[in-house]
A and B are shown apart, each in its own frame.
Chain A
């Protein structure tokens, strides 16, 4: 059974390249281009893992994560991508299932490794 991953980023090229990297590694990826779309997709079909941008129109990455954590029975492990790493409220992060914050620009290779690590999957060198 392929792990289901939700990728949310309002920058389409970023969302697409992340999706492609994960698909090539054998994952089932869904792409959302803003927070609201990601929220609806996650409610409709809760993913095993989520990668979300922080700054998105409508619902930002932290709000998305908080709402899903409040409304879904299972917490979704999440990696937060951001170009504003130094501004994130540490206290807010601690309450959410965010296992890692990665700064943009990022390496898709490293992102994949972190996702596999977080999901307890064997990392293929």
Chain B
């Protein structure tokens, strides 16, 4: 097409210039005719020659301009960084075909670029979603109270939550990617993980009990181990996940329950044994006289009462805790309750040769309390003090005001409680390890005291003790002003 245009331009040029020159020369050569006709012919020839030159030039220029236009358009697109263009395809010449081909090609490129843009955006979104999910899972793992440790195929530490850091004693930031043998000291735990890594293909899930430490510091963990399987057929272990759940408390409760059943059965059987033995003696005619038979009946009566008291104690605490007992609070003087308790305990103390001193304030500190419950609580503390104080010892009861509370203080010179058992003695059924050697009990007395003072009266109980020197119990009750 361009060639055609060039040919047309040359023809136009030659035609214009040729006819123009011919017209120009003719009047000059011709000596006849009017000068006006000569001038017109000369002018026409000049004009034709000029028009031919211009027309030929213009016709020849067209494709170049169009090509320049395309070039300018492409440069503008490049400057804008844009892809996709529409160049004119209207001319049915070779430039038009070129335009069509370029357009088709550019459309393809544009589509592909757009598609890869969409794919890249999708990937970015996917990455963001995965990062968010990872953070989500990590925060869940960090939030749970169970320890979580994840190790890789070679026993290197991949992940651990803060609970695991506390349990196993390391800092994850410093330990990450290190072999766990360099991070964790406990040999038993390390052996559990190693064994799982070695045999996990056959047993991919295992739950083991692991005791950490010894004595009072000992904690029992249920360790749940899972292998992470990899490979096309899941035939390769790529890591081990260990979850550590603290079952110390559950174990302790189970032990306390078992101790309670054991203690209660012993406590219930003791009076029952007396009742049975004395009845059999009466039936077998082993008594000498009427007086002795009366004495036996009195013993049976006393033991029956004791049995009943014991059952009442167990039921009372159970009812108090379940909230079935109606609480009847009135304003009352603590000193009066302490006097009543002293009157009841004095014979018991005298029998053991324990001196009972009451340093009661002349002022009657008043509290808003349930009389019967408070009496029982104070009685339990004072009775315990006498029970766990050896012969020749002393129990001192005092009451005073401190920080808006009426304080009932019971101090003894008894056997004392070891520091590691001090907080446990208020737990239901707990008996200090050495207490069984000294006196009988159900492990319910102090649990009742704590419940009555704290849960029912909004006060608190405190204890200080030194083994071999004695204990001081303080009951803090909100004072009535």
Please list the residues of chain A having a beta carbon within 8 angstroms of any beta carbon in chain B.
Answer: 10-11, 13-14, 17-18, 20-21, 24, 55, 57-58, 60, 83-84, 87, 104-109
The count of residues in chain B whose C-beta lies closer than 8 Å to any C-beta of chain A is 23
Interface segment out of the listed B14-22, B94-102, B173-181, B265-273:
B265-273
Tell me which residues across on chain A come within 8 A of B67, comparing CB atoms: none
Interface residues of B in 170-192 (CB under 8 A from A): none
B438/A17 in contact, CB under 8 A = no
Query: Are B277's CB and A108's CB within 8 A?
Result: yes
Q: Kindly list chain A residues whose C-beta atoms are within 8 Å of the C-beta of B437.
A: 57-58, 60
Known: A13-B274, A57-B438, A83-B266. 16 other contacts (CB 8 A): A13-B277, A13-B278, A14-B277, A17-B277, A21-B281, A24-B286, A55-B440, A57-B436, A58-B437, A83-B269, A83-B270, A104-B272, A105-B269, A106-B273, A107-B280, A109-B280
Known contacts A11-B270, A55-B436, A57-B438; A106 and B277 CB within 8 A of each other: yes
A123-B22 Cα distance, complex, nearest whole Å: 174
Contacts of B276 in A (CB 8 A): 105-107
Is B360 on the interface with A (CB-CB < 8 A)?
no
Q: Taking A58-B437, A83-B265, A84-B265 as contacts, is the C-beta distance between A17 and B270 under 8 angstroms?
A: no
Residues of A within 8 A of B269 (CB): 83, 104-105
- Which of A14, A87, A104 is in CB contact (< 8 Å) with B262? A87
A-B contact count (CB 8 A): 65
With A57-B439, A104-B273, A107-B280 as known contacts, state yes or no: A20 contacts B286, CB within 8 Å: yes
**Nearest-Cβ distance from residue A102 to partner chain B, whole angstroms:** 10
A105 close to B277 (CB less than 8 A): yes
Q: How far is the CA of A107 from the CA of B440 in the complex (A)?
A: 23
Query: A17 with B278: in contact, given A87-B262, A104-B269, A105-B269 (CB under 8 Å)?
Result: yes
Q: In the complex, what residues of B have CB within 8 A of residue A21's CB? A: 281, 286
Is B274 within 8 A of A17, CB to CB?
yes
B358 within 8 A of A: no
B89 within 8 A of A: no
